[in-house]
Amino acid sequence: MPGILEKIKEVEAEMARTQKNKATEHHLGLLKAKLSKFRTELMEPAKTVKGEGFDVMKSGDARCALIGFPSVGKSSFLNKVCTGTHSAEASYEFTTLTCIPGLLQYKDARIQILDLPGIIEGASKGKGKGRQVIGVARSADLVIMMLDGVRGEIQKKLLTKELEDCAIRLNQKQPDIYFKRQKSGGVKLTMTCRLTQLDEKLVRSILQQFKIHHCEIIIREDCSADQFIDVIEANRVYLPCLYVYNKIDNLTIEELDEICRGQDHNVVCSVKLNLNIDFVLERLWNKLNMIRIYAKKKGSAPDLNEPVILRNGATIEHFCHSIHREMVAKFRYALVWGRSAKHRPQHVGLQHVLEDEDVVQHFFNHNKFLSYLIFKKKKLHSCASCNDQFLKNYTYKISFN
C-alpha cells in the first residue's frame, strides 16, 4: 500500500500529464478533490502533534505570524519593531528554531508578532519544522510573508503553494456557497447564477468523491472547482497577508520600482538600513482592519490610553460584548462622538456601526445588571464607562463574599 505522500505524488503527476481543456475539465476536477482529501488526511496528525516551543499563548489585540524562507530577515524585523524581545539573528540559515513571540505597540493597540523558523519547499509535507510553522500561521489574524527582495517573486509563489496545501487561503474571500450536510433527502442543489467553471455533473461527482450523499447546497457565485472543494472540506482558513520585500538595499532602483508597482499587498523595506519600516507598520495596521474605541465615563474625559480594539464594521453591540458578556442584555442606549456620529454626541442603539477613534459612553440598566452579578456571584472586571459608586461598592462586596 502506498503512503499518503506517494498517493499525493501520483495524483499530482497525473494532473500534470492531463491537458487542460473542456473535455478534461471533469476529470481534473475529480483529481483536485482526491488531492484535497489526501492533503487533509496529511494534516490530521499535525494538529495533534504539538511541536516543542510552538504553543505560544495568544495575547494582545491581534496576532501576526512571520512566514518566510530562511535568512530573509524575519528575526531582524521582530527585533526592530517589538519592544523587550530579542530573537537571534545571523547570516546562517535556520537560526530561529522555535516560535518567539514579540509585542508591537502601535496606535495604542497591542499586536503580537510571532517570529518563526524559516520554511522551505516541501514544508507542507513535513519538511523541517514546516508543519508546525504553518500550524502557527493558521492561528494568526495576519500573515506577514517576508521575502528576499532579490528572489521575492519565486519565494512568494512557492510559499503560497505550501500554505495552500495546508488549507490556508491568502487574501481570498470565502466563496459565496451555502453547504450543509444532511441525514437524508439526497443532494439538493441550487444555483443562483450561471456557472462557467463548474457544472452540475462535476458538483455531483466531487460530492461522491467525498462520500457525501445527502446535503443542501446553494451556489451564489461563479466559483471554480477548487473553491467548491474548499467549501466541502470546511477546514480552510482565509487570512489577510502582507508581502514584505526585505533587503531592498541589494536591489536596483528599477527592480524596486517593479515590486512596488506589483500589487496592493506588497510593501518593501530594508531592516538593516532602517528604510521604510514605518510604512510597513502602517500597512500592517491597515491590513489588520482594526478600530480603536475610547470609553468615556459620565462627566469625565475619555480614557485615551486604553482603547477597546474591535474589527472594522463593529457595532455598539460588539463594544458592549467586549466589556462584559452580559452587558448587551442590560443595555439601554449609548452616546457616540466621532466619525460615525451624525451629531455631537449621537444617541444610538446596539446596531450602530462604529468607526476608528470613536468615543462611546454607554448606559445600561444597573438594577438588572446587578441582580445578574449577585446571582452569579461575579465580579465586574472592567466597566470602563461606569462610575456609579454604588455599583462599584456592590461589585466589590460580591467578589469578596
Ligand X SMILES: Nc1nc2c(ncn2[C@@H]2O[C@H](COP(=O)(O)OP(=O)(O)OP(=O)(O)O)[C@@H](O)[C@H]2O)c(=O)[nH]1
Footprint on this chain of ligand X (rule: CB under 6 A): 68, 70-76, 89-91, 93-96, 117-118, 246-247, 249-250, 270-272
Write the interaction track for Mg ion spanning residues 327-356; mark x where CB under 5 A is met and - where it is not: ------------------------------
Pick the closer one to Mg ion by CB: 72 or 310: 72
Q: How far apart are CA 302 and CA 325, in angstroms?
A: 22
Q: Which residues of 105-124 are buried (b: 16+ CB within 10 A; e: fewer)?
A: eeeebebbbbbbbbbbeebb
Cell of 197: 467553471
Does 75 bind Mg ion (CB under 5 A)? Our answer is yes
Of positions 95, 205, 315, 346, contacts K ion by CB under 5 A = 95
* Gap between the Cα atoms of 38 and 9, Å rounded: 10
Distance, CA of 110 to CA of 335 (rounded, Å)? 26
The candidate with the shortest Cα–Cα distance to 175, out of 221, 141, 133, 136, is: 221
76 binding Mg ion? (CB under 5 A): no
Of residues 82-121, which lie at the interface with Mg ion (CB under 5 A)? Answer: 95-96
- The continuous run of DSSP H or E covering 30 comes out as helix 25-48
Query: Whose Cβ is closer to Mg ion: residue 146's or residue 241's?
Result: 146
Q: Which residue minimizes CB distance to ligand X?
A: 118
- Least Å distance, CB 261 to ligand X, is 21
Neighbours of 53 (CB within 10 A): 13
The entry of Mg ion, ligand X, K ion, none near residue 152 (CB within 5 to 8 angstroms by kind) is none
Burial of 334 (0-12, 13-18, 19+ CB in 10 A): buried
Q: Provide the mask over 157-196, with x wherever binding to K ion is found by CB under 5 A and - wherever it is not.
A: ----------------------------------------
73 versus 307: smaller Cβ distance to ligand X: 73
Residue 235 binds K ion, judged by CB under 5 A: no
Q: Quick one: which of 31, 35, 71, 132 contacts K ion (CB under 5 A)?
A: 71
Least CB distance to ligand X at residue 65 (A)? 13
Q: Tell me the CB-side half-sphere exposure of residue 370, using CA atoms within 13 A.
A: 14
Contacted entry of K ion, Mg ion, ligand X, none for residue 76, CB cut-off 5 to 8 Å set by kind: ligand X
87 binds K ion (CB under 5 A): no
What is the total count of residues that contact Mg ion (CB under 5 A)? 4
Shortest distance (Å) from residue 190 CB to K ion: 52
Q: Are strands 266-268 and 241-246 parallel, antiparallel or unpaired?
A: parallel
What whole-number distance in Å separates Cα of residue 155 and Cα of residue 145?
A: 10
Piece of the chain touching K ion by CB under 5 A; list 64-72, 165-173, 302-310, 365-373: 64-72
Q: Which own/partner contact pairs does 250-254 have at CB distance under 8 Å and 24+ positions apart?
A: 250/149, 250/150, 251/149, 251/150
State yes or no: residue 98 binds K ion (CB under 5 A): no
- Does an H or E element contain 361, and which? strand 358-364
DSSP letters for 198-245: --HHHHHHHHHHTT--SEEEEE-S---HHHHHHHHH---EEE-EEEEE
Closer of 75 and 227 to K ion (Cβ): 75
User: Binds 94, which of K ion, ligand X, Mg ion, none (CB < 5 to 8 A, cut-off by type)?
Assistant: ligand X
Of 115 and 358, nearer to Mg ion (C-beta) is: 115
Nearer to ligand X, 245 or 369 (CB): 245
**CA separation for the pair 357, 294 (Å, rounded):** 7
Is 276 a binding residue for Mg ion by CB under 5 A? The answer is: no
Residue 72 near which of Mg ion, ligand X, K ion, none (CB within 5-8 Å, type-dependent): ligand X
The nearest distance, CB 147 to K ion, in angstroms, is 14
Of 11 and 268, the one with the shorter C-beta distance to ligand X is 268
Contacted by 270, from ligand X, K ion, Mg ion, none: CB < 5 to 8 Å by type: ligand X
CA pair distance 380, 155, nearest whole angstrom:
50
Can you list the alpha helix ranges (DSSP code H) found in 238-315?
Answer: 253-262, 277-288
Q: Which residues bind Mg ion (CB under 5 A)?
A: 74-75, 95-96
